[in-house]
């Protein structure tokens, strides 16, 4: 897929249609899925503003939407602000009485999960580290309570012998269900509010933004504005071999002067995500 992204198209999804149903803002994830499917040779129907411009406005259930869209598309990618919403669309899509099942992929369900982002993050680490993940110390920084990306990253990374360092304000700590899942498979984690004191020990630094849209008010979210800023000075403390990841969009977590630091991998992640999603969609479509 890396080669195809360099400038070609495949015919793997010839005759197939992907529908994207996005009930929350997105730039990367939707365009990444859509261009990945186009590169695979398929066609795309795009629901970029499902919250504002779909029959959801008329009160249609997610189940019904899934059932209906499964008649149009072979594959559905959904993003929605509520946990469990994508599973609801999938329930409807599975009811389709036809020779082929309609596949549904989660592109982010509220504070729940964002599995393909975590997959592309793991792929990026795997690529940069020559396939070796065992023994790494991975730091996750920011709004670990509301960030679905760190939740999904833990879900995947727990399969390697990795130690976790969670950096967040106490009120935005990693939820217990995620930490319990790590403990259950014997993974260790350490929690702190102070990035400066731990950054030098991290092999991978996963920055994320404060998820302002999940707070009761802008004022409440504003309390945490600028709480962790990774600038050139902070990167001086980090290991020479460290990797700096961010799912993007960034607000103020990483200053632009860090972009030229060879350890900054957030724009590489975007390209890796495209290839990863091509591979994933080919796989789930049985190709």
Contact present, 228 and 195 (Cβ < 8 Å): yes
Site string for ligand NCD, 124-153 (x = CB under 6 A): ------------------------xx----
- Which neighbouring-strand residues pair with 79? 22
Judged by CB under 6 A, does residue 47 bind ligand NCD? no
Which of 66/247 has CB closer to ligand NCD?
Answer: 247
Footprint on residues 84-123 left by ligand NCD (CB under 6 A): 108, 114, 117
Give the tokens for residue 121: 């993050």
Q: How far is CA 192 from CA 40, 116, 203, in A?
A: 43, 27, 17
CB of 165 to ligand NCD, least distance (A): 19
- Residues assigned a catalytic role: 28-29, 58, 79, 114
Footprint on residues 11-30 left by ligand NCD (CB under 6 A): 28-29
Compute φ and ψ for 192, nearest 5 degrees. -150, 160
Judged by CB under 6 A, does residue 247 bind ligand NCD? yes
User: Which one of 16, 145, 187, 209 is in contact with ligand NCD (CB under 6 A)?
Assistant: 209
Judged by CB under 6 A, does residue 208 bind ligand NCD? yes
Nearest partner of 230 among 211, 245, 219, 214, judged by Cα:
245
Which of 74/210 has CB closer to ligand NCD?
Answer: 210
CB of 147 to ligand NCD, least distance (A): 6
Give the tokens for residue 42: 């398929």
Which of 28/239 has CB closer to ligand NCD?
Answer: 28
In this structure, the dihedral spanned by the alpha carbons of residues 211, 200, 138 and 241, taken in order and rounded to 10 degrees, is: 120
Nearest partner of 163 among 190, 195, 125, 200, judged by Cα:
190
């Amino acid at each position: 897929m890396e080669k195809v992204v360099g400038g070609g198209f495949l015919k793997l999804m010839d005759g197939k249609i992907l529908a994207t149903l996005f009930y929350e803002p997105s730039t990367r994830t939707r365009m990444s899925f859509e261009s990945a499917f186009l590169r695979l040779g398929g066609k795309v129907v795009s629901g970029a503003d499902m919250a504002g411009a779909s029959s959801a406005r008329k009160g249609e259930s997610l189940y019904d939407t899934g059932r209906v869209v499964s008649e149009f598309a072979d594959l559905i990618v959904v993003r929605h602000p509520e946990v469990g919403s994508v599973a609801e669309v999938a329930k409807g899509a599975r009811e389709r009485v036809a020779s082929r099942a309609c596949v549904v992929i989660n592109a982010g369900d509220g504070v729940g999960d964002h599995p393909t982002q975590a997959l592309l993050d793991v792929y990026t680490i795997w690529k940069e580290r020559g396939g070796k993940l065992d023994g790494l110390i991975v730091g996750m920084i920011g709004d670990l309570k509301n960030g679905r990306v760190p939740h999904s990253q833990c879900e995947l990374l727990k399969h390697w012998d990795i130690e976790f360092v969670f950096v967040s304000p106490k009120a935005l700590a990693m939820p217990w269900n995620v930490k319990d899942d790590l403990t259950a498979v014997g993974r260790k984690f350490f929690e702190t509010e102070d990035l400066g004191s731990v950054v030098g020990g991290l092999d991978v630094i996963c920055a994320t933004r404060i998820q302002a849209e999940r707070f009761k008010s802008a004022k409440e979210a504003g309390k945490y504005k600028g709480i962790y800023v990774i600038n050139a000075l902070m990167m001086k403390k980090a290991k020479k071999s460290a990797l700096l990841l961010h799912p993007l969009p960034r607000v103020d977590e990483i200053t632009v002067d860090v972009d030229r630091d060879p350890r900054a991998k957030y724009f590489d992640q975007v390209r890796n995500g495209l290839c990863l999603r091509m591979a994933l969609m080919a796989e789930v479509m049985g190709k």
